[in-house]
Structure 1
Amino acid sequence: MSVLLAIAITTGILSGVWGWLSISLGLITWAGFLGCTSYFASPKDGISGLGTSLLTNMTGVFWAMVIIQASNLVAMEIIGYVVTGLVAFMMCIQAKKAWLSYIPGTFIGSCATFAADGNWKLVIPSIIVGAIFGYLMKASGIMLKERLDKKEPGFHSIEGAESAR
């Protein structure tokens, strides 16, 4: 079995579980899938990739709230555009720090916050749990592949069956 097929299987199963769980917990399903996507697209794997993804997602939530709040301070529409430009600059320049270098993660967190009308209190747990599900999807897929690839003598091939006699 290929790694891709194994990850596809576990991702399919856990996506259904996430859909049910997110509704049961009152979370935003699509925001969780953004957290999952952010993890899958992260340049790092494992816990390190999960941490980088979540950290940049959370800074994105922060930056979106800066834009929303600053834009509401002054009733001039142009101010919102200026603030957006300045904050987008900050979202990119923060990548000078290695632990904030995953710029797409920052924009994913920001976009999720805008799409949820600034409801950061709901976006944050949705992204976090979704990213954990992304980690579990990939990790369980890799584990499935490794388990299926282990061959027991005499079980998977004719040669093995003959030598086991």
Structure 2
Amino acid sequence: MSTLFAISLTTGLLSGIWGWVSISLGLLSWAGFLGCTSYFASPIQGLRGLGVSVLTNLSGVIWALIIIHGSQWLGSDVIGYILTALVSFFMCIQVQKLWLSFIPGTFIGACATFAADGNWQLVIPSLLIGGIFGYSMKLSGLWLQERSGVSLKPKVIEEK
């Protein structure tokens, strides 16, 4: 069994389970898939990658709340746009810190918060559990592939 097939299989199975879990717990299934996607897209994998993707998602939630509440407090659309520009700068510059080094994860967390109208109480557990599901999808797929007895080495096609 190829690595791709094994990860695809476990991802499909766990995606269905996530759909059921999210509805059962009253979470945002789409936000959980964003947390899962954040883990898969992270250039760092394993537990460290999970940590980086989760922390960047959470920082994005915080940045979005700063924009939402700051814009409301300032009361001006134009000043709100300036605040958005400044916060977006900080969302990118935080990459200097290893645990906040995945810029797309930060924007994923912020976008989820905007899409949920600032309901961080629902976004945060959805992103967190989704990230754990993403980690589990990949880890279980690699475990399954290893148990299948097929080498992880890619096939080399020789030209004639």
* Category of TM-score, reference length = shorter chain: over 0.9
- How far off its partner does 1:73 sit? 0.8
What's the counterpart of residue 59 of structure 2? 59
TM superposition score normalised by structure 1:
0.90
* Identical-residue share of aligned pairs (%): 65
Query: C-alpha distance in 2, partners of 1:74/1:6?
Result: 51
Code of the aligned partner of 2:85: G
The runs of 4+ residues in structure 1 deviating greater than 6 Å are: none
2:35–2:57 contact (8 Å) kept in structure 1: yes
Residue 79 of structure 1: aligned partner: 79
Larger Rg: 1
Please tell me whether the aligned partners of residues 67 and 80 of structure 2 are also in contact (alpha carbons under 8 angstroms): yes
Paired residues, what number?
Answer: 151
Query: 2:64·2:110 contact (CA, 8 Å) conserved in 1?
Result: yes
CA distance in 1, matches of 2:133, 2:2: 21
Partner of 2:156: none
Q: How does 1:52-131 map to 2 (within 5 A)?
A: 52-131=52-131
Which amino acid is the alignment partner of residue 11 of structure 2?
T
- Per the TM alignment, residue 69 of structure 1 is displaced from its structure 2 partner at its CA by 0.5
2:10 corresponds to: 10
- Residue in 1 aligned with 2:36? 36
Distance 2:99 2:21 in 1: 30
Q: In structure 2, how many angstroms separate the alpha carbons of the residues matched to 1:120 and 1:57?
A: 11
Residue number in structure 2 paired with 1:142:
142
What is the CA–CA distance in structure 1 between the aligned matches of 2:87 and 2:22, rounded to whole Å? Answer: 30
Whether contact under 8 Å (2:71, 2:80) holds in the other structure is yes
Q: Which consecutive residues of structure 2, in runs of 5 or more, have no partner in the other structure?
A: 152-160
Q: TM-score, normalised by structure 2?
A: 0.92
Secondary structure of the 2:148 match is: helix
Give the distance between the partners of 1:36 and 1:83, measured in 2 at CA: 29
CA distance in 2, matches of 1:103, 1:26: 28
Q: Structure 1, unaligned stretches of length 5 or more?
A: 152-165
Q: Please give the root-mean-square deviation of Cα atoms over the aligned residues, in Å.
A: 1.1
CA contact 2:63–2:91 (8 Å) conserved in 1: yes
Residue 24 of structure 2 is matched in structure 1 by 24
Q: Which amino acid aligns with 1:104?
A: P
